[in-house]
Chains A and B, each alone.
Chain A
Amino acid sequence: MDNSEKTEVVLLACGSFNPITNMHLRLFELAKDYLNGTGKYRVIKGIISPVGDAYKKKGLISAHHRVIMAELATKNSEWVEVDTWESLQKEWVETAKVLRHHQEKLEAGSCDHQQDAPMQARPGQKRKWAEQRQDISPKKLLEPKPKDVPKIKLLCGADLLESFAVPNLWKSEDITQIVGDYGLICITRAGNDAQKFIYESDTLWKHRNNIHLVNEWVTNDISSTKIRRALRRGQSVRYLVPDLVREYIEKHDLYSYESEEKNAGVILAPLQRKPADTHS
């Protein structure tokens, strides 16, 4: 299949990134290799979307720092970038909404691009384009072909997939939307457990073709929790997080016993919302 027939994909990873680690960055690499390897997709971009402070997770330091660390971590990446929209919202935003925001942004961007195309062309081409435009109806110009708009997919680890089962954490219509309208790329060591989890859920089972399980052969346990713990204990985190991130953490003395107590006793934002309050 040549490139024009492949579905373009943008991988979106939501999470605390508190702090970002080499494991997070690896998720993108593994997902990209997997999707490109199927021959059906072409991954064109990766987006890291750190959660807003209103999430109220214990130990969550200010979004400002988490965003900067993610930017430092992706400085040397040619395709993964950081998006601050979610972190800038005053209220916590459901993952399904973040996905929708980014998908709509892609669609709007695709639209503008088609309209602007004549402007960006060289003078010689412009004339040619103008001649050809007479044959194309204005309506066609404004509506991008579905295949031309890249598709957003949620990138995650098995912990997120299995968190779908945590009572009141996710709205069932959000889960349906995530796996139905967008799709999930889940990097996991325990492929069998994840498959079983999908099998045992009617919603997930229905959309199983849109849930890609990617096996992580090499256990890569660099969780942010362990990084924070190591930092509190004065242990080195070198080679577990990018050097620029480590230097930033040291310079700003970000993680300590005090910082870990932030939001202690506070209920996580998604659990605070009663089903009646929210409309997706």
Chain B
Amino acid sequence: MKSRIPVVLLACGSFNPITNMHLRLFEVARDHLHQTGMYQVIGGIISPVNDHYRKQGLVAAHHRVAMARLALQTSDWVRVDPWESEQLQWTETVKVLRHHHSELLRSLPRREGPDHSRARTAPTAVPELKLLCGADVLKTFQTPNLWKDAHIQEIVEKFGVVCVSRTGHNPKEYISGSPILHRYRHNIHLAREPVQNELSSTYVRQALSQGHSVKYLLPDAVITYIRDHNLYTRDSSWKGSSTQRSEGKTGWEESASPQNSS
């Protein structure tokens, strides 16, 4: 019997702050991959972007990492990794993938000799690291000069993408509209979130700055943290647009300047 390919899901993004929607991405992606019969999801990583990303309203990385950690307290398979946020400068997404992939390979148990009890069973497949994102991110691949073509290719060819649907987006269109994506479409998994949810960090920040409740949109522990550290208040540097939908969840390949519209 063919054994399933072990997979770790990596989500890059601002997580400013982390919300139940982000946490749902992992759940939906895992269910989807399991239902293909081909994969076994063995872990999830949240990688908050570096402060040098310089996105407007981005609170300090150590807060964003702490909030993600609190949100994942009750998760037995997803963790936060601060490596990207601790680098001296902003890091392209493909480099973050490369880093975590080599870490993953390094942590594999070393195979013993033929006497090892495992020799009987089918050899464990090498785990794959896949980029987890929303459909809005897949769309940004199209933006001219935003991503290096070579990077897009490496991401879809060498790693693979699990893309969770989002209202107002048609990921199949994005794939068929791009030669590279189309070529590696077998490695782009489109997962459908059965419960449409337009929740975004932008909305959460807006609500907080107006003193409105965000309970049940993100874990209680994160809300407490935000309150204790006085984040996202009206006085904070956030001046985001209320119509902005795109969270720009992965890094900008060319420069640190933010995209103005999606």
Given contacts A25-B215, A76-B220, contact A238 B24 (CB under 8 A): yes
Pair A239/B31 contact, Cβ less than 8 Å: no
Whether, in the assembled complex, A26 has its beta carbon less than 8 Å from a beta carbon of chain B, the answer is: yes
Residue of A whose beta carbon sits closest to that of B242: A217
Stretch of A139-147, A173-181, A221-229, A265-273 that contacts chain B: A221-229
In the complex, per-residue mask of B194-220: 1 if CB is within 8 Å of any chain A CB, else 0: 111111100100000000111111001
27 inter-chain pairs at a CB distance below 8 angstroms, sorted by A residue, are A25-B215, A26-B215, A26-B216, A29-B212, A29-B214, A29-B216, A30-B213, A33-B213, A217-B203, A218-B198, A218-B200, A218-B203, A219-B198, A220-B197, A221-B196, A222-B195, A222-B197, A223-B195, A229-B194, A234-B31, A235-B31, A236-B27, A238-B27, A239-B20, A239-B24, A240-B24, A242-B216
Give the complex CA separation of A243 and B216 in angstroms: 11
Residue of B whose beta carbon sits closest to that of A238: B27
Whether, in the assembled complex, A230 has its beta carbon less than 8 Å from a beta carbon of chain B, the answer is: yes
Could you tell me how many residues of chain A have their Cβ less than 8 Å away from some Cβ of chain B? 28
Whether, in the assembled complex, A56 has its beta carbon less than 8 Å from a beta carbon of chain B, the answer is: no
* Known contacts A219-B198, A221-B195, A242-B216, then 16 further A-B pairs from the complex at CB < 8 Å, ordered by chain A residue: A25-B216, A30-B213, A32-B213, A33-B212, A33-B213, A77-B215, A217-B203, A219-B197, A220-B197, A222-B195, A222-B197, A230-B195, A236-B30, A236-B31, A239-B23, A240-B20
Whether, in the assembled complex, B143 has its beta carbon less than 8 Å from a beta carbon of chain A, the answer is: no
Whether, in the assembled complex, A22 has its beta carbon less than 8 Å from a beta carbon of chain B, the answer is: yes
Candidates A29, A230, A234; contact of B213 at CB < 8 Å: A29
Q: Which residues of B contact A77 (CB under 8 A)?
A: 215
Q: Which residues of B contact A30 (CB under 8 A)?
A: 213
Q: Which of B167, B195, B199, B215 has the most CB of A within 10 A?
A: B195
Give the complex CA separation of A32 and B194 in angstroms: 28
In the complex, per-residue mask of B219-258: 1 if CB is within 8 Å of any chain A CB, else 0: 0100000000000000000000000000000000000000
Residue of A whose beta carbon sits closest to that of B207: A33
Given contacts A26-B217, A226-B194, A239-B23, contact A218 B199 (CB under 8 A): yes
Whether, in the assembled complex, B102 has its beta carbon less than 8 Å from a beta carbon of chain A, the answer is: no
Q: Which residues of B contact A243 (CB under 8 A)?
A: 74
Residue of B whose beta carbon sits closest to that of A240: B195
Residue of A whose beta carbon sits closest to that of B211: A33
Q: Which residues of A contact B196 (CB under 8 A)?
A: 219, 221
Q: Which residues of A contact B167 (CB under 8 A)?
A: 219
Q: Which of A223-280 contact B (CB under 8 A)?
A: 223, 226-227, 229-230, 234-236, 238-240, 242-243
Q: Which residues of B contact A22 (CB under 8 A)?
A: 20, 216-217
Q: Which residues of B contact A227 (CB under 8 A)?
A: 195
Give the complex CA separation of A22 and B19 in angstroms: 13
Given contacts A33-B213, A76-B220, contact A230 B20 (CB under 8 A): no
Give the complex CA separation of A226 and B24 in angstroms: 15
Give the complex CA separation of A240 and B220 in angstroms: 14
Q: Which of A69-120 contact B (CB under 8 A)?
A: 76-77
Q: Which residues of B contact A238 (CB under 8 A)?
A: 23-24, 27
Q: Which residues of B contact A25 (CB under 8 A)?
A: 215-216
For the complex of A and B, list the 4 residue pairs with the smallest distance between their C-beta atoms, beginning with the closest: A236-B27, A29-B213, A239-B20, A219-B198
Pair A239/B27 contact, Cβ less than 8 Å: yes
Q: Which residues of B contact A220 (CB under 8 A)?
A: 197-199
Give the complex CA separation of A220 and B30 in angstroms: 22
Give the complex CA separation of A116 and B195 in angstroms: 50
Taking the nearest CB of chain B, how far is it from the CB of A66, in angstroms? Answer: 18
Pair B194/A235 contact, Cβ less than 8 Å: yes
Q: Which residues of A contact B20 (CB under 8 A)?
A: 22, 239-240
Taking the nearest CB of chain A, how far is it from the CB of B201, in angstroms? Answer: 11
